[in-house]
Amino acid sequence: MKGKSLLMIPGPIEFDLDVLEQMGKPTSSHVDPEFIDNFGRAIENVKLLFQCKEGQPFIIAGSGTLAMDIAACNLTEPGDNVLQLITGYFGERMKDIFERYGANVTQITAPTGQVQDLAEVEKVLQQKKYKLMAITHVDTSTGVLNRVKEFTKLAKKYGVLVIVDGVCSVAAEELKMDEWGIDVAFTASQKAVGVPPGLALLVASNAAMEAFAKRTKPVANYYADWANWLPIMQAYENRKAAYFGTPAVNLVNALDVSLQKILKEGLNQRLLRHQKISKAFKSAMTAMGLRQIPVNPDIAANTMTAPFYPKGINPGEFLNAVRNEGVVLAGGLLADRKNEYFRVGHMGIVDIEDTMTTISAIEVALVKGGYLHEVGAGSYAALQIFDQKTV
C-alpha cells in the first residue's frame, strides 16, 4: 500500500487484504444467517487452532488483557493458591489479575532472558496444594519462549490446572492443548491469528469447565463470566443466534476468514515458516553484533526478536531512523531496561521480503547512528538461512 510503513512490531501486525476486506464491509445484524454461519465456523476452527478437540472456545470482544481476565476470574475464588511463572511484563500482569480476584499468588520469576528451572518449580509445587499454575508462553516484553509442555506435565503430576498465556504464540508456536494437558489457553486477534485488534480468544478444557461448575461463589466479573457467554458460544456453534452482548460482527467475520487461511496453510507448515523467518532474522542480528534478550536460541520465540542496542546508539533516534526507512519497530517494554533493547515482530503473513526490508532498515539506522559493523552482513546472514531447504 503506497505511503504505508511496514508494521513490524509484536502486534498489531500486518494483515491479509482478504481479512481487512471484512472490516470494510457493511455491518450486518448479529442474527443475520450468514453471520451466524461465520461465527459458528470460527468457533469450530478455534478448537482446531488450539488443538483442543473437546474444548470450549470463547470469542469475546476485547483485548488480550480481557483474555487474561476471563481465564483468571472464572477459575479463581478468594483464597485459591496460584503459582505464576514470570518471564517478563505480562507474567507480572497476570499475577496482578489473579490477586485482584483474591488468589494467594506464589510467583517464580526467572532472571531476564531465562526460564524457570523444572526442579525449582517442582519444589514449590510440593510445598502446598495449588489450584492453578499460569505460564506465559511467549512474553512479548522479552521474546522469551517458555517450556509449556514440560511445565504442564509437571503440574499434572500434582493435580494442578494449567493456564497458558498464548497471546504472542498461538498460530505461530507449537501449542497442543489436548496432547499436553493444558486446561486454558488464550490469545488476542491482533498477533499471529492475523486479525485487527479487538477479539479475545480463549479455549477451556473439560477439566477447566468442571472446575468452573464447582465454584462456590459467583464470578466477580460480570462481562467475563462464562455463565453469561457459554450459552452464546454453544448457540452459535450450533448455528443458532443468541444474545448476551453484541458481538464484534466485522471482527468475527475477519476472524473466520483468517482462521480458514491458517488452517489451509496447515499448522505444521505455518510453524516451520515462522521458525525459518525467526532464524533468519536472529541470524542477521547476530551477524550485526546485536545480542538478544533470550540467553539461548532454545528459549527464543519464533514470533518476535528482542535485540539489545549496540553501545552508543540512541534508542529514540534509532527507531526514528528505521521509521524513515519505511519500517515501524517497537521499543523496550521492561520498565528498568526499556532503553536497552528494541522489539521486532515477525509473525502472521510476514514473508521473506518483509524480513529483508526490516533487516536493511535496521542496518541503515545503525550506520546513521555511528555504529561500525560490516554493512550488509545482516542481510547476507538472513539470505543464507532463506536459501536453505530446511529450517
Residues 1-49: tens digit of each pLDDT: 446 899 999 999 999 999 999 999 999 999 999 999 999 999 999 999 9
Q: What would the grid cell of residue 313 be?
A: 546508539
List, in sequence order, the alpha helices (H) in the chain.
17-24, 33-50, 64-75, 89-100, 118-125, 148-157, 177-180, 206-213, 226-237, 249-265, 267-287, 315-324, 352-368, 377-386
Write down the pLDDT at residue 1: 44
Q: What is the pLDDT of residue 391?
A: 76
pLDDT band for position 390 (cuts 50, 70, 90): confident
Residues 138-179: tens digit of each pLDDT: 999 999 999 999 999 999 999 999 999 999 999 999 999 999
Q: What is the pLDDT of residues 171-230, one digit of tens each?
A: 999 999 999 999 999 999 999 999 999 999 999 999 999 999 999 999 999 999 999 999
Give the start-to-end residue ranges of the domains of the chain.
Answer: 17-265, 267-386
The Cβ-side half-sphere exposure at 176, using a 13 Å CA radius, reads: 10
The candidate with the shortest Cα–Cα distance to 206, out of 234, 226, 183, is: 183
Topology of the domain comprising 17-265: Aspartate Aminotransferase; domain 2 (3.40.640)
The residue with greater pLDDT, 299 or 373, is: 299
Percent of the chain with pLDDT over 70: 99
Q: pTM for the whole thing?
A: 0.97
pLDDT, averaged across the chain: 97
pLDDT band at 374 (very low <50, low <70, confident <90, very high): confident
- Those residues with Cβ within 8 angstroms of residue 59's Cβ, 6 or more apart along the chain or in another chain: 39, 42, 43, 46, 199, 200, 201, 233, 247, 252, 255
The model's pLDDT over 221-241, given as tens digits with 9 standing for 90+, comes to 999 999 999 999 999 999 999
- Residue 3 pLDDT: 64
Locus of grid cell 464491509: 25
Tell me the C-alpha distance between 287 and 309, whole Å.
Answer: 14
Superfamily of domain 267-386: Aspartate Aminotransferase, domain 1 (3.90.1150.10)
